[in-house]
């Protein structure tokens, strides 16, 4: 991110950051009618500067819907280098999720939140042609950003090749023609590649897949939102890993 700070807003997002990484919070702003004494006590216990503002002044700090009366100014989101992510994945048995050209911050935030809920996932996103981990992503993640490492890479194909060299299997998700995820014995350590809704995985990445998998749908053949699809894949990956 170009700037050196970001803003969390909403009770869940701010509370989870207070618990997980309070040192990253520079100051907290609350609306003058904010009524959540447990959150205020937590802020004070961490010795974080606290400022009370009226509604219009709070919206000047962060213009967004549903602020819930609280905004935290924090250090900018910290990505981890790919090489560190690959080592971390092997050491901690993380499954890595490569998100190819994901442009909707709400989808990225939902994926991050789901990854945190199932645990033992890391995300890899491209620097170009994709949204970054911005304020909206962090808000939708509702604290998930504290538990899911993210790498941003300049070239997704090269990143996948490095993962394969490190010993990862690369499994791509396709709308049709792949092996049924319910019948596929997934290989680990695993890199799961998710493409954009409609376009799918780009050809340059597609040709490096070791396996292809598809979600079976017996109903109307409507494509699933990528965040919804990931939730199903995350469940199956966690089930097969035994946790």
Question: 122 with 94: CB under 8 angstroms?
Answer: yes
Cβ-count burial of 107 within 10 angstroms (0-12 exposed, 13-18 middle, 19+ buried)? buried
Question: 14 with 38: CB under 8 angstroms?
Answer: no
| DSSP letters spanning 86-129 | HHHHHHHTPEEEEE-S---HHHHHHHHHHHHHH-SEEEEEESSS
Interatomic CA distance for residues 214 and 136, integer angstroms: 29
Looking at residue 221, what is its pLDDT? 56
DSSP state of 241: H
Question: 178 with 214: CB under 8 angstroms?
Answer: yes
Looking at residue 203, what is its pLDDT? 83
Looking at residue 47, what is its pLDDT? 97
Looking at residue 219, what is its pLDDT? 56
User: Which long-range contacts (C-beta less than 8 Å, at least 24 apart) are formed by 215-224?
Assistant: 215/173, 215/181, 216/180, 216/181, 216/182, 223/175, 223/197, 223/198, 224/197
Interatomic CA distance for residues 214 and 2, integer angstroms: 37
Successive 10-residue mean pLDDT values, the chain, 243 residues: 79 96 98 97 98 98 95 97 98 97 94 98 95 95 97 97 98 91 95 84 90 81 81 96 78
According to DSSP, the β-strands at 70-75 and 25-31 are antiparallel
Exposure b/e, 39-78, CB count within 10 A at least 16 = b: bbebbeeeebeeeebeeeebeebbeeeebebbbbbbeebe
Residues paired with 193 in a beta bridge = 98, 172
Question: 134 with 160: CB under 8 angstroms?
Answer: no
Evaluate the omega torsion of the peptide bond into residue 130 and state whether it is cis, within 30 degrees of 0: no
Interatomic CA distance for residues 23 and 182, integer angstroms: 43
What are the structural domains of the chain?
5-75 (3.30.1330.30), 82-241 (3.40.1280.10)
For the chain, the average pLDDT equals 93
Looking at residue 89, what is its pLDDT? 98
CA dihedral 136, 175, 189, 132 (to 10 degrees): -20
Any idea which residue has 């699933």 for tokens?
Answer: 224
Question: 212 with 174: CB under 8 angstroms?
Answer: yes
Looking at residue 1, what is its pLDDT? 37
Looking at residue 197, what is its pLDDT? 66
Looking at residue 2, what is its pLDDT? 41
């Amino acid at each position: 991110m170009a700037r050196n700070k970001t803003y969390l807003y909403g009770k869940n997002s701010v509370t989870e950051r207070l618990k997980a990484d309070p040192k990253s919070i520079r100051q907290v702003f609350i609306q003058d009618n904010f009524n959540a004494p447990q959150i205020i006590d937590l802020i004070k216990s961490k010795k974080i500067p606290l400022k009370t503002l009226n509604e219009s002044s709070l919206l000047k700090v962060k213009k967004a819907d549903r602020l819930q009366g609280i905004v935290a100014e924090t250090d900018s989101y910290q990505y981890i280098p790919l090489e560190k992510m690959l080592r971390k994945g092997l050491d901690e048995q993380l499954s890595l999720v490569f998100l190819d050209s994901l442009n909707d911050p709400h989808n990225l935030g939902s994926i991050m939140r789901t990854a945190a809920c199932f645990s033992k996932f890391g995300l890899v996103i491209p620097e170009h042609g994709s949204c970054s981990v911005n304020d909206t992503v962090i808000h939708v993640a509702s604290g998930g950003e504290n538990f899911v490492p993210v790498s941003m890479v300049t070239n997704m194909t090269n990143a996948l090749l490095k993962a394969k060299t490190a010993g990862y299997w690369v499994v791509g998700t396709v709308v049709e023609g792949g092996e049924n995820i319910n019948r596929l014995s997934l290989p680990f350590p695993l890199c799961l590649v998710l493409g954009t809704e409609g376009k799918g995985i780009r050809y340059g990445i597609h040709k490096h897949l070791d396996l292809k998998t598809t979600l079976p749908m017996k109903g109307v053949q409507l494509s699933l939102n990528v965040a919804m699809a990931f939730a199903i894949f995350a469940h199956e990956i966690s089930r097969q890993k035994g946790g």
